[in-house]
Amino acid sequence: MVRKNQTLGEFIIENQAEFKYSSGELSRLINAIRLAAKVVNHEVNKAGLVDITGAAGETNIQGEQQQKLDVYANEKFIQTITNREIVCGIASEENDDFITIQGQNKDNNNKYVLLMDPLDGSSNIDVNVSVGTIFSVYRRVTPMGQPVTKEDFLQPGNQQVAAGYIVYGTSTMLVYTTGHGVNGFTLNPAIGTYYLSHPNMRFPKTGNIYSVNEGNYAQFPQGVKDYIKYCQAEEGDRPYTARYIGSLVSDFHRNMIKGGIYIYPKSKKATKGKLRLLYECNPMAFIAEQAGGKASDGFTRILDIQPESLHERVPFFCGSEEMVNKAEEFMQKAE
């Protein structure tokens, strides 16, 4: 049952029966994510007052310079979830390899693995622009009681049991799905409680916003160039409005509410795309489909792609269904 303004805790308890594997474990995991998000949110809101902005001086597995808040958020989420022994393994965009979590008896009978991008868009922190956290949950495929293997993490997105994101913006929101629609909860910072503010979130069938880094236009495939020109043409309800924040969570969140498409294609510089399949594209695609939207790599449904490595990258087209369909048409014509 969905009642606006109920707390996230009440919502989890009242709706966990919808989940066919319900044993309380997934509910505990969502609660742990909720707690870690509050800790990270507190630190994000202090940016500029304490030494938490800027580069940390390290690079991650992708060769990207880590920001101090990347490292902080990664540590806090891993620490919070590990201490509760809710999952048997964690994979993070910021870590080279996955983490095996063993119980007190050196085994682990937990059912789930967690994959996450602990702080998406962290380079925006220095200029006070919204950032976020993305997470994804799968049932393990290896036998319980044994250490997890890479096989547990390299599952196609259609096997996700839950996914969500937290956006740290003008207000802090946690948006998630367990395969029964998408609901958004806003944090009341005065008492530290999330309340259901956006029940049954849905993508409009179409929209008038396109989100793409047009600074890379010359590097884009012809199909993307043609679609951008289509968006800019004066015809019917066009030209569309260009809106690009540079934080996937923020761009996705706006487009889900207002209607739009987010595109991060491959380019001559990033021949396989830039966004990570496991930590960004799969969870966002799951949320999009649960909200009536669509996500693809320009040709194939994102959730049907079989991952081959933990840090695999793919092109990403995501948003209102009719807009993604139109973008795919241009991609196929150009091929």
* Residues in the annotated binding site: 93, 117, 119-123, 213, 244, 274, 280
Separation between Cα atoms, residue 194 and residue 294, nearest integer Å:
28
Q: Mind giving me the DSSP string for 111-123?
A: -EEEEEEEEETGG
277 neighbors 314 (Cβ within 8 angstroms): yes
What count of other Cβ atoms lies within 10 Å of the Cβ of residue 27? Answer: 18
Binding residues for Mg(2+): 93, 117, 119-120, 280
Question: What count of residues does the chain have?
Answer: 335
Cα-Cα-Cα-Cα dihedral sign, residues 61, 271, 245, 115: negative
Question: Phi and psi dihedrals of 82, rounded to 5?
Answer: -65, -45
* Token representation of residue 121: 């868009």
Of the candidates 331, 32, 62, the residue with the CA atom closest to the CA atom of residue 176: 32
Binding residues for substrate: 120-123, 213, 244, 274
